[in-house]
Amino acid sequence: MKKVISYITIVTVIMGIMLSSLSSVTAESLADLEKRLDEVEQKKNNASSKKKSTDKKIAENEAEQAETADDIDGITAQLEDTQAKLNGKKAEIAQNNNKITETENHIKKTEAEIKQLKTEIKELEEQIKEREKLLKNRLRSIQQNGGDINYLSVLMGAQNFGDFINRATVVTKIMDQDKGIMEAHQQDKVDLEEKKTAVEDKQKQLEDDKASLEETKATLIIQKEELDAIQGQLDKQMAKKEELLEELEEEHNHLEEYKMSLAEQQETLANQAAVIEKAKREAEASKNQSNGGNGSSANNNKPASGGGNGKLIWPANGRFSSGYGYRTFNGGSFHYGIDIANGTGTPIKAAASGVVTRSNYSDSYGNVVYIYHPSLNITTVYAHMNSLGVSREQNVSQGQTIGTMGNTGDSYGSHLHFEVHNGGWSHKGGINPMGYLP
């Protein structure tokens, strides 16, 4: 009887110790879950606050765009005025170019006329010179023969009436010829003076045309400089207008992209919070049960040596193509995970047991799966997948296929981008996965 009582006492003590230990573990697990839930809620609230702030900035940007519209309208009016000035200056330049062409043609014509007149003057001067020589000889002959009286001697020396008539005719012709010579000689002199005067006039006109041409050319140079200045002003005004528009559009697009990123963060954090809250409820409902099971721990996916604590298995077979940290290629960005490259369709495994907090498409990550691992208090991320094999809030075991490798989202070639986060996922919060891989 004493032995039975002793056994009962021992069993009672042992059971008390076990219950106490289990109660302690359960309480600790609940406290951890509550702490993690608080952390996720805080991150979610921060993301919500950032989103509200971004919405406010977008509204301010839109208001600034509306205000800037007046400035742009003013610049547009200036552009129209400058364009009108530019067109007017181009018309003036075209007019002066035509004037220069006309003046140059007129100068060429005048120069040709002057050349022709000079030729004619030279011919007249030679003709007058020859005639004067002839007239001098004629006068000398008249003087030697006694002047006009000789004509009477010729007439009076006629033998008969018929001879008189003949002599009279000859004398008349000689006198008419002399008169014609004198008249032609006088007319040539008049023509010579007129042509000389014409040459002087045309020479003066030529000089005036050349002076006008130089003046027009000088004006044209000034107008072209003014045209360049107006064109420069127009270019600056257009550049200013484009700059205003581009700055506002760029800021707006950036804010919109940031807003989308924040919305994605909010969704992810909200999903995490829901999963952790569910885990908390399940922990409270099953205080006397163990909630675990690591599933298959076989590590058939190891592409390289991680050198870590081995709490995770390699999520896929393939070539280790990029490590964690800063990298010089792809814009020199920071890489918040590691990359494992292999062909499209290569199976991707859960690195540890846990619950899926996200399984959908992201512009940056493409098809992506997030898994929260309560026993490790970490989150793993599997990005750029070709296909998704699990859904949100689904429990998965270590080594379970969750999808296949691909090249979706912001990706270059088929590969798996794998991240590890302390606690729940956070934007740019990835830590080096190699510390967890064997």
The encoded tokens of residue 269 equal 């954090």
pLDDT on residue 15? 44
Tell me the pairing of strands 401-405 and 378-388.
antiparallel
What's the rounded Cα separation, in Å, for the pair 297 and 316?
A: 14
pLDDT tens sequence across 104-141: 887 888 888 888 878 888 887 787 777 777 767 666 66
End-to-end Cα distance, the chain: 56
pLDDT tens sequence across 313-342: 999 999 998 899 886 655 557 889 999 999
pLDDT on residue 230? 84
Q: What region, left, alpha or beta, does residue 414 occupy, with left being phi > 0 and alpha being psi -120 to 50 degrees?
A: beta
Answer yes or no: is pLDDT of 67 > 80.
no
Placement of tokens 């006009």 in the chain:
148
What's the rounded Cα separation, in Å, for the pair 46 and 161?
A: 151
pLDDT tens sequence across 219-265: 889 988 888 888 888 888 788 877 776 665 555 444 444 444 667 77
What's the rounded Cα separation, in Å, for the pair 100 and 76?
A: 35
pLDDT on residue 3? 42
Query: pLDDT above 70 covers what percent of the chain?
Result: 61
For the chain, the average pLDDT equals: 75
Answer yes or no: is pLDDT of 48 > 50.
yes
Answer yes or no: is pLDDT of 42 > 50.
yes
Of 1-5, 239-243, 258-262, 415-419, which has the strongest mean pLDDT? 415-419
pTM of the model: 0.45
Q: Which of 424, 422, 419 minimizes the C-alpha distance to 334?
A: 419
Answer yes or no: is pLDDT of 100 > 80.
yes
Pick 403 or 160 by higher pLDDT: 403
| 418 and 340 Cβ atoms separated by less than 8 Å | yes
The encoded tokens of residue 429 equal 């919060």
Pick 390 or 297 by higher pLDDT: 390
Query: pLDDT above 90 covers what percent of the chain?
Result: 22
What's the rounded Cα separation, in Å, for the pair 358 and 156?
A: 152
Q: What are phi and psi of 44, to 5 degrees?
A: -65, -40
Pick 226 or 149 by higher pLDDT: 226
pLDDT on residue 192? 76
With a CB cutoff of 8 Å and minimum separation 6, the contacts of 400 are 295, 296, 349, 350, 390
Task: Convert the chain into a string of H (helix), E (strand) and C (coil).
Answer: CHHHHHHHHHHHHHHHHHHHHHHHHHHHHHHHHHHHHHHHHHHHHHHHHHHHHHHHHHHHHHHHHHHHHHHHHHHHHHHHHHHHHHHHHHHHHHHHHHHHHHHHHHHHHHHHHHHHHHHHHHHHHHHHHHHHHHHHHHHHHHHHCCCCHHHHHHHHCCCCHHHHHHHHHHHHHHHHHHHHHHHHHHHHHHHHHHHHHHHHHHHHHHHHHHHHHHHHHHHHHHHHHHHHHHHHHHHHHHHHHHHHHHHHHHHHHHHHHHHHHHHHHHHHHHHHHHHHHHHHHHHHHCCCCCCCCCECCCCCCCCCCCCCCCCCCCCCCCEEEECCEECCCHHHCEECCEEEECCCCCEEECCCCEEEEEEEEECCCEEEEEEEECCCCEEEEEEEEEEECCCCCCEECECCEEEEEECCCCCCCCEEEEEEEECCCCCCCCECHHHCCC
Mean pLDDT of 152-181: 65
pLDDT on residue 313? 97
| 338 and 304 Cβ atoms separated by less than 8 Å | no
Q: Which of 318, 317, 325 minimizes the C-alpha distance to 299?
A: 317
Mean pLDDT of 165-190: 69
pLDDT on residue 272? 81
Pick 281 or 396 by higher pLDDT: 396
- Round the CA-based radius of gyration of the chain to a whole number and report it: 57
pLDDT on residue 61? 62
Mean pLDDT of 20-29: 43
pLDDT tens sequence across 350-387: 999 999 999 999 888 899 999 999 889 999 999 999 99
293-438 to CATH, choices 2.70.70.10, 1.10.3720.10, 3.90.580.10, 2.40.420.20: 2.70.70.10
- For the chain, the structural domain boundaries read 293-438
